[in-house]
Structure 1
Amino acid sequence: MAARAGKIPGDRLQRSVAEKLVEAQQPRDLEALFGELPQRLDDPAVEVRACILGELALMGAGRGRPVLDAYAARLRELRHPLARLPRTRLDVEHRFGVRVRGLGSVKTSEQLRARFPEVSATDGGAEGGRRAVESVEAGRAGAVAEPFVVSGWSRVPEVRFFALPSPLEPDDFNIAFIKQLPLDCLAGEGTRRGVAVSCRTTPDDVINELFAAAHHGGVNGQGKGQGGAYARLYAWNSLYALMGLPGDLPFLDAARLAAEYRWLRFMAFSDWFHHDTADIAFAVLDPGGTRVAVLAATDTDADSRPYF
């Protein structure tokens, strides 16, 4: 049930106000809001303005206006979390907020195969999966899960990390590899009708799903959408954590490195994958072929036990 206007927590209310202002006004009409530079970050009006700048960045607007540039520079000095984001949309973010008629959530293996190139199972993949050793990194897992947790998805995502004793061949990173991992999302796989499948995808697909999860809110968490500015921040935090990158790495460098990783979408027929609302599952292999991260999220009501 959507939250009533008077009941929206302060942070989401500020984000919603900023989003609506940017939708309704031209950047030149918003400049009057930025005449006075902020002195502290605990002022709600400052937070609204920071979100406005974040929304304008997603539109490719606002940059090059001295008043807005000065305000953004002051926010960086005060270390506002949104201030570290680029002031314009990067190429890898080109799908943010873009909806294509006829394309919604990937709910079936047929849809997955139709949209992404399938990666066939190999014996080398199964052998590699059997050699994988799990590593527990709670803080990193929390960052990966953040877009889903903050936006009220019905179940806390499963986030797991694995290390390999020797590099995995890129072609062996497939569903055969994934099925050998002790993933809760695959528990009971094979007992339901259907065949697990993996398809190769790209960083822009992954970060777009992370952005959409935070921006729109879960089915049962309506009213918990975070607004574009913070959805973008949570998506980048999650992508960095999936790749195991340091937080101070410049965004353009992170986008360049992301192209060197190998990204998979996968789907199975288990108690996790309900194929009715939103099921998302990704795996990523680092360029050296020895580190794997897995993220599986579902917005179907289920046991909400966290997986990190």
Structure 2
Amino acid sequence: MERRTWFITGVNSGFGRHMTERLLERGDRVAGTVRKRGSVDDLKAAYGDRFRVAHLDVTDLSEVRRVVDGAFGDLGRIDVVVNNAGYGLFGAAEELTDEQVVHQLNTNLLGSIQVVRAALPHLRRQGGGRIIQLSTYGGQATNPGASLYHAGKWGIEGFMEATAKDVAPFGIGVTIVEPGGARTEFRFDSLQLADPMPEYDDSPAAMVRQAKDRSRPPLGDPAKMADLIIASADQEPAPLRLVLGSDSYRAVRAALTERLAQIEPQEAQAATTDIAPGE
């Protein structure tokens, strides 16, 4: 098996941690980033020079570029860049503070965009590579009470899909990963909820207030999902989307089917706004 070098944001928990452990176990090199210093000291002690770790808050866009440049500078070639860092923010749009809105988009959208922008010059010069973007089924489907979370995920999916077309001539593949619910720290530890407004108590948005209920664990096995994300780097061409979890498949398929049903009856009407031949 070919050994690769990976750059992964947010390796201290969730999919980032699972992927890093598996990659190091099989002999790959990983350059990882963490927000909490010391949170992966066990991996550093176990794997030494094969595990490079840097402190990074992806909302610091200039620091993103410095860390990415440093990783390529120290390691030479990096084969796979994984945008994993992010968190959930749930609540009705009106319940969120301005600060929460800005921080959510800076983390889940602008931070991921900047990682890609920083990595692309290096990937082009080395003649190719792979970019893997962690998204969610919520990058294609929506739930009430998650408007800002969806805004970031729909935004990053649009950015990545267009970028995939831009960089394909350089041998750079792009994969957007859309997991369903998984038993990681994301749901119970990193997920943030807006302060509830009583006006929304009986609205659909109130459903997210139960998001941290541990009596209803998610279906997804994060270790199995991590294995498939890693395996996707071997696929040629790169799969543009990787749907993980039966709940994700059902939600994405239903959303796409509904979207088509909404626009297909408008085909004739849409054409009426074209400039007629000869006009």
Q: Tell me the TM-score range normalised by the shorter chain.
A: under 0.3
Greater fraction of residues in helix: 2
Structure number with the bigger relative contact order (C-alpha 8 A, sep ≥ 6) is 1
Structure 1 length normalisation: TM-score? 0.23
Using the size of structure 2 for normalisation, the TM-score is 0.25
